[in-house]
Chains A and B, each alone.
Chain A
Amino acid sequence: MKNGLLKPGDYFLRGNYAFVEGALLAGCRFFAGYPITPSNEISAMMARRLPQVGGAFIQFEDEIASVVAIIGAANGGVKSMTATSGPGFSLMQEAIGLAFMIETPIVIVDVQRGGPSTGLPTQVGQGDFIQANFGSHGDYETVVYLPNSPQEMFDMAIKAFNTAWRYRVPVIVLADQMIGQMIEKVSVPSHDEIELVEYEKPEIPPEEFLPFDLRYEVPPFVAAGDGYRIHLTGLAHDERGYPTTDHETYSKMLLRKLRKIWDNADEIVEWEERLTEDADLIVVSYGITSRSVYKAVSDAREKGLKVGIYRLKTAWPFPYKRLKELAMEGRNILVVEVNMGQAYRVARQYISHEGVYSMPWAPGRVPPPEAILKKIEEVYKA
């Protein structure tokens, strides 16, 4: 791979590299980041690849500068992203709130490692599930994807940029150390088949333009230098983008921004369902853990246990509707994840019967299929 974009075909790619190639095909032309394990393959590859396609890469002094720089670059009308892991993701939280507030499309890939604190830099974790939508202060929404293979790292990179630019929100891809560093087959489709959401300068004359126009679900985006002479602020603001402390004005503005995601959740949510129809028990998982769950469920089926799979492909919005339906038809739910029950707590909120179980697992290892099978058998009896 010298210059240009990755050509259609089948490749054997590391997850982190697959993400880079997907992002470049999606039109990402600016990357800012700070070194952190286990996401380093992304910044290293971006540093090599971006100049080859006419883009720009900057390694900043920290993760705060990195995320703020991509917000700045996105406001220049250029698709931009950063990559990080837990500690860096924590540092980015304040700026994620800014991106939501000024409706700037950005993409962050968080290759999760074990936490809290420095934790397990080289080993797997899934402990940022809640933080990805609740880490910044105030009420805001992000869209969060959960890849479980290098192929999905590629596909979700493209999807993340499309969602970010369609709804003008921060989009996060929550990968993990194993998905980021494993090498598998990745199929790249013909470039014409890849649907992209592109930024187009609006046709509204500048004197009529309101950057936060309440008449739109998603107001048109304008970039710096487009001649609209806009003012954007992280302060509570009115349609003109001017600061306000008027409660009614702010209430309307905040709700309009939240509704971009709330009202389109059915369009955004994604999940994978296998063997659920006749199942008595459904195992919920995501990311690398789902790979172990596939094996455990197939072993359980061989033993005659009616077990199904519900794999989350978005964390936020949480794909609860179908899960709730399956649960309320009388199926029990078991949530398996490499944390102490973050998605379990969310699932519990939506399911009003008692048959929702958690298999918590400390970071550093993925629960092996045998351990999951044991838990399935235990819960199945209950």
Chain B
Amino acid sequence: MSEAKLIRPSIDEIKALLRVERLPHIWCPSCGIGIVAKAYVEALLRSGIPPEKHVLVSGIGCSSRMPGYIKIDGYHVIHGRAIPFAVGLKTVRPELEVTVFAGDGDLSTIGGNHLIHAIRRNDDINVIMINNFTYGMTGGQYGGTTPEGSRTLTSPYGHIEGTFNVPLLVASIGAPYVARWTVLHYRQIVDTIVEMFKVDGFTFLEVISPCIIYTDMNRRDAISLMRMFKNQSEIDHTADLRNVGIERLDEETRFIVGKFVHRPSESYQTKYRKLVERVMKGGE
């Protein structure tokens, strides 16, 4: 399917990429992960790369269950380690389009070390991080993205730790592609993922997603949350990333979204292939 046509895929085309026999999925009503899963499938259809050449890798958590529902090669590995698995696979099979799909806890907290080093190396993988500000699978503990002051299962008197500003973190290490949307920005998420497939290097998309079950967002219903994403998000592609951190979740929160970074890049894997060519010719 060529991108120029911009025809939305039919339900049948999308269904053909789902493991329908596994439905219903595990996600709670009002969860945003399914929206991003569908956006990924739509982006895959638009990518022009056959499904057999796309691979999903995930860690552990609600978001990491996503590859289990998509009918392409998918690897649901151990907590925090989706990135190194993806890097190993991509390095030996460069023709595959490898995407990591996981949550904020998996990628930025337990897997934080792999995240920063994959960016530093500029590994040629796509990373989609669903940020719902909590560990949903285990019942709502605080993590690296939980806003200060939040009352969670493990911060019953209020969270007193600082919060990662993930787009700033990722961009500061030099990721060639960094974007952030909320689950309300469905079209933008699809466009972004299609673009990520084309970058030779590390691409990062943060999707802000509701978890009304386990976060302070639980004072709201799904509709009012979507309204919050609509009314309180601001598209600013050139935002100063120092100011995009999400340190609270209430009526005052500003969700700054957009494509923050998109610059030319040559990945570790491309550089390594050149190195191998040089060495095999007898160079030092």
Instruction: Please give the residue numbers on chain A whose beta carbons come within 8 Å of chain B beta carbons, in ascending order.
Output: 2-3, 29-30, 32, 51-52, 54-56, 58, 60-62, 64-66, 68-78, 80, 94-95, 98, 102, 223-235, 242-243
Contact = CB atoms under 8 A, between A and B. Distances in A.
B93 A68 contact: no
Most chain B beta carbons < 10 A, residue from A52, A72, A226, A231 = A72
Given A51-B275, A52-B280, A75-B75, A58 B52 contact: no
B45 interface: no
Nearest to B82: A68
Contacts of A65: 81, 83-84, 87, 113-114, 117
Given A61-B113, A225-B52, A69 B88 contact: yes
21 contacts: A30-B88, A30-B92, A58-B87, A58-B268, A60-B117, A61-B113, A65-B114, A71-B85, A72-B85, A72-B88, A75-B75, A76-B89, A224-B93, A225-B96, A227-B52, A229-B52, A232-B74, A232-B75, A234-B78, A242-B22, A243-B68
Contact of A69 (B55, B84, B280): B84
A69 B123 CA distance: 12
A201 B89 CA distance: 17
Nearest to B269: A56
Contacts of B51: 229
A234 B73 contact: no
A330 to B, nearest CB: 49
B92 A64 contact: no
Please classify how large the interface on chain B is, using the bins under 10, 10 to 19, 20 to 34, 35 or more: 35 or more
B169 to A, nearest CB: 15
B72 interface: yes
A288 B248 CA distance: 60
A32 B88 contact: yes
A58 B272 CA distance: 10
A95 B276 contact: no
B91 interface: yes
A54 B276 contact: yes
A95 B81 contact: yes
Contacts of A74: 88
Contact of A64 (B73, B74, B76, B81): B81
B117 A73 contact: no
A44 to B, nearest CB: 15
Contact of B280 (A51, A71, A226): A51
A233 B275 CA distance: 34
Most chain A beta carbons < 10 A, residue from B51, B67, B88, B117 = B88
B77 A98 contact: yes
A63 B114 CA distance: 11
A82 B2 CA distance: 42
Interface in B145-161: none
B230 interface: no
Given A69-B85, A76-B92, A225-B52, A61 B77 contact: no
Contacts of A60: 84, 117
Ranked nearest first, the 4 interchain pairs of A and B with the lowest CB-CB distance are A72-B88, A69-B88, A72-B85, A65-B84
A135 B276 CA distance: 36
B38 to A, nearest CB: 18
Given A56-B272, A231-B19, A66 B84 contact: yes
